[in-house]
Amino acid sequence: MRAGDTPKALSRGTLKRVARFARPHWRRLLAFLVLTVVSAVLAVTTPVLAGKVVDAIVGGRDLPLVIWLAVVIAVLAVADAGFGLVERWQSARIGEGIIFDLRRAVFEHVQRMPIAFFTRTRTGALVSRLNNDVIGAQRTFTATLSGLVTNVIQLALSLAVMLTLSWQVTLLALVLLPIFVIPARRLGRRMAGLQREAANLNAGMTTQMTERFSAPGATLVKLFGRPVQEADDFALRAGRVRDIGVRTAMLTRWFMTSLTLVSALAQALVYGLGGYLALTGKLAPGTVVALALLLTRLYAPLTALANVRVDVMTALVSFERVFEVLDLDPMIKEKPGARALPAASGGVSVEFSDVRFGYPAADRYSLASLEDVATLDHRGGEEVLHGISFRAEPGEMVALVGSSGAGKSTIASLLPRLYDVDAGAVRLSDVDVRDLTFASLRETVGVVTQDGHLFHDTIRANLAYARPDVTDDEIWAALERARLGELVHSLPDGLDTTVGERGYRLSGGERQRLTIARLLLAQPKVVILDEATAHLDSESEAAVAEALTHALAGRTALVIAHRLSTVRAADRILVLEHGEIVERGTHEELLAANGRYATLHATQFADEEPAVA
């Protein structure tokens, strides 16, 4: 367990935050409380009636009274069973409803996090928060809500009735009460610490499985021959989780056995003192029986409540881990009063005006536990873009070229607001992108990256992700324009063909053309191509380039390219170095200037010449 994961005191605000999630369910909570009170009253009434039965038998041998009391006890038992079922149904509905709200809130919140959050976070650790932790909270919350309230009310009623029957016997029974309270508090803290460690270890296992079971991860493991080491690393975490599970089970069992023993000893004391008082004529025999039965209604809730404390502490750990994610600032937010981009028949212009930007430090958007580090990296804020200014008129293509790390992809990420500028402005049709709604920005800007991502779903579902209301005819038209129609028609399942995780059942060129078809269905006014053909062979590159011709037709385009041959037709080429534009012009103008672009061009084609030969 890392330094950042050591057990700590649970925040007092956690219960208040859980209560806020419960507030919308107050009607069900009220009905549940009423049912709980009724069930508790029935549970306490039965021992009192049993005592009266004993008194009737011993005192007057009143058979009708005994039969009548027996019938009442039977009716109360049936009623108690019925109320118990309804009460459990209500508590389950409340618990599941609260967890549904919590799970949805976390998922929606994570969707709003900046892309930097996902570049640093372990996917498995994040999935663990939404899966293991939420399920852990759900299981404990729904299982203990009914027992917690029922046992508290039953404990209070039992104690009140016992005091009215015999305060001497009741006080004797309560002498052993500290034996319940003190261990319960200590055990709760120890269990919370174990739960935190187990949650972190489970997150680590989930991360390892998520990464190693993916196609590229499994390939890397096989190529470098480390499956045994991977299995050993996994077994180390799994073994610790096993040990924690055994320790937790034994701690719980030891505690519950001790409480059961104390309850039995208390009952022996009640029989001893009660019997003495009955023989001396100070108590009725039925009262002794009632006290003995009520004692089970007293110590059984105490035993259950002691266990509930452990369960609640465990649940609060899960809730805190989930709230930890909810407390992260999304950083990129929709401005209050944001508006849609005004419709423009002539297209959309793109403008960067004196843009300055530095990547933020990790502590602004990440968690140490999600990165599996002791402390977050506080470095950040160093400016990587220095006064970037250019404008692309509607329908123009502007290309960004330069060596790796020059800032090309950083510029492209600012247009769809994957990050926000530190100074200056990025505008679409003279409107700052920060003043636009997210929906309008998504409709206006489309992106094709060098590794177009596809979900493990059908071709139809992946394409419809851009436009849920799209028809099959429109899908086929987009596939034809992306030069994929013939391929998809040849597949046995056609549009219902599953592409596999990240689209790995398709070749690189096919996967890229499918993302272009998705872009065509989205019909954005502005297109960003970020090294769209960087990892393709010459044949695939030619097919993708042909598909891109359709994708760029009539649209404003921002093209990032390593291969300079793909940007010769650009209306303007911007050459970047160290976050600054050092040259700008057309392909011919930049070659004639004999500057940085000419050097890149000469170097690249000199490297490629032997390959052609």
DSSP 475-511: HHHHHHHTT-HHHHHHSTTGGG-B--GGGTTS-HHHH
In the chain, the percentage of residues whose pLDDT exceeds 90 is 12
Which of 173, 145, 156, 179 has the alpha carbon at shortest distance from 35?
145
Query: Does residue 243 register a pLDDT over 90?
Result: no
Q: HSE-up of 321 (CA within 13 Å, CB side)? A: 34
Q: What average pLDDT score do residues 313-338 get?
A: 82
Q: Which residues are bridge partners to 448 per DSSP?
A: 529
- Encode pLDDT of 408-433 as tens digits: 889 999 999 988 999 999 999 999 99
Alpha helices in 415-457 (DSSP H): 438-444
pLDDT computed for residue 422 by the predictor = 92
Q: Is 136 helix (H, G, I), strand (E, B) or coil?
A: helix
Query: Does residue 1 register a pLDDT over 60?
Result: no
Distance CA 126, CA 118 (A): 9
CATH code: domain 350-363+381-612 is 3.40.50.300
Phi, psi of 528 (to 5 degrees): -110, 125
Distance CA 56, CA 59 (A): 5
- State both tokens at 46: 């039965």
Per-range mean pLDDT, top range of 189-198, 241-250, 361-370, 430-439? 430-439
- Encode pLDDT of 204-219 as tens digits: 777 777 767 766 666 6
Pairing mode of beta strands 383-392, 350-358: antiparallel
- State both tokens at 21: 């999630």
Q: Is 366 helix (H, G, I), strand (E, B) or coil?
A: coil
Among left, alpha and beta (phi > 0; psi -120 to 50; other), residue 219 is: alpha
Name the more confident of 267 and 517.
517
Q: What average pLDDT score do residues 251-265 get?
A: 73
List the Cα angle 185/35/152 in 5-degree steps: 20
pLDDT computed for residue 220 by the predictor = 64
pLDDT computed for residue 310 by the predictor = 65
pLDDT computed for residue 181 by the predictor = 59
CA distances from 269 to 46, 105, 295 (A): 22, 52, 11
pLDDT computed for residue 377 by the predictor = 67
Name the more confident of 10 and 530.
530
pLDDT computed for residue 140 by the predictor = 61
**Using an 8 Å Cβ cutoff, are 301 and 264 in contact?**
no
pLDDT computed for residue 539 by the predictor = 60
Q: HSE-up of 393 (CA within 13 Å, CB side)? A: 3
Query: Does residue 606 register a pLDDT over 70?
Result: no
Which residue is associated with the tokens 């990050």? 419
Per-range mean pLDDT, top range of 6-15, 132-141, 429-438? 429-438
Distance CA 340, CA 443 (A): 10
CA distances from 90 to 271, 465, 512, 549 (A): 38, 38, 51, 60
Quickly state the pLDDT bin for 390 (edges 50, 70, 90): very high
pLDDT computed for residue 188 by the predictor = 61
Residue boundaries of the structural domains of the chain: 12-326, 350-363+381-612
Quickly state the pLDDT bin for 59 (edges 50, 70, 90): low
Q: What average pLDDT score do residues 364-389 get?
A: 77
pLDDT computed for residue 226 by the predictor = 67
Quickly state the pLDDT bin for 85 (edges 50, 70, 90): confident
pLDDT computed for residue 415 by the predictor = 92
Query: Does residue 577 register a pLDDT over 70?
Result: yes
pLDDT computed for residue 9 by the predictor = 47
The rounded Cα 295 to chain-centroid distance in angstroms is 45
Which of 184, 161, 174 has the alpha carbon at shortest distance from 40?
161
Pairing mode of beta strands 350-358, 423-428: antiparallel
Q: What average pLDDT score do residues 190-199 get?
A: 74
The rounded Cα 29 to chain-centroid distance in angstroms is 26
Lowest mean pLDDT of 157-166, 375-384, 579-588, name the range: 375-384
- State both tokens at 267: 């009952």
- State both tokens at 219: 């390939």
Q: What average pLDDT score do residues 396-412 get?
A: 89
Distance CA 50, CA 72 (A): 10
Query: Does residue 372 register a pLDDT over 70?
Result: no
Distance CA 452, CA 409 (A): 15
Does 1.10.3110.10 match the CATH number of domain 12-326? no
Distance CA 428, CA 434 (A): 10
User: Helix, strand, coil proportions of the chain in percent (round to 5)?
Assistant: 65, 10, 25
- HEC string of 560-601 equals ECCCHHHHCCCCEEEEEECCEEEEEECHHHHHHHCCHHHHHH
Name the more confident of 166 and 427.
427
Quickly state the pLDDT bin for 610 (edges 50, 70, 90): very low
Distance CA 372, CA 69 (A): 64
pLDDT computed for residue 21 by the predictor = 76
The terminus-to-terminus CA distance of the chain in angstroms comes to: 57
CA quadruple 13, 14, 16, 20: dihedral, nearest 10: 130
Query: Does residue 607 register a pLDDT over 60?
Result: no
Q: What average pLDDT score do residues 396-409 get?
A: 88
Per-range mean pLDDT, top range of 103-112, 225-234, 285-294, 437-446? 437-446
Query: Does residue 519 register a pLDDT over 60?
Result: yes
Which residue is associated with the tokens 């843009």? 355
- Report the mean per-residue pLDDT for the chain: 79
Per-range mean pLDDT, top range of 103-107, 212-216, 390-394, 451-455? 390-394
Distance CA 16, CA 37 (A): 24
Phi, psi of 525 (to 5 degrees): -85, -25
- HEC string of 321-345 equals HHHHHHCCCCCCCCCCCCECCCCCC
pTM more than 0.85: no
Lowest mean pLDDT of 403-412, 448-457, 577-586, name the range: 448-457
Per-range mean pLDDT, top range of 42-51, 65-74, 389-398? 389-398
**Using an 8 Å Cβ cutoff, are 399 and 573 in contact?**
yes
pLDDT computed for residue 2 by the predictor = 42
Q: What average pLDDT score do residues 340-359 get?
A: 89
pLDDT computed for residue 138 by the predictor = 66
pLDDT computed for residue 8 by the predictor = 45
- Encode pLDDT of 532-558 as tens digits: 665 555 666 666 667 677 677 788 989
- State both tokens at 40: 């508790």
The set of residues, in sequence order, having a beta carbon less than 8 Å from that of 307 and lying 6+ positions away, is: 252, 255, 256
The H or E element spanning position 353 is: strand 350-358
Pairing mode of beta strands 572-577, 397-402: parallel
CA distances from 253 to 265, 303, 317, 470, 517 (A): 18, 12, 21, 59, 60
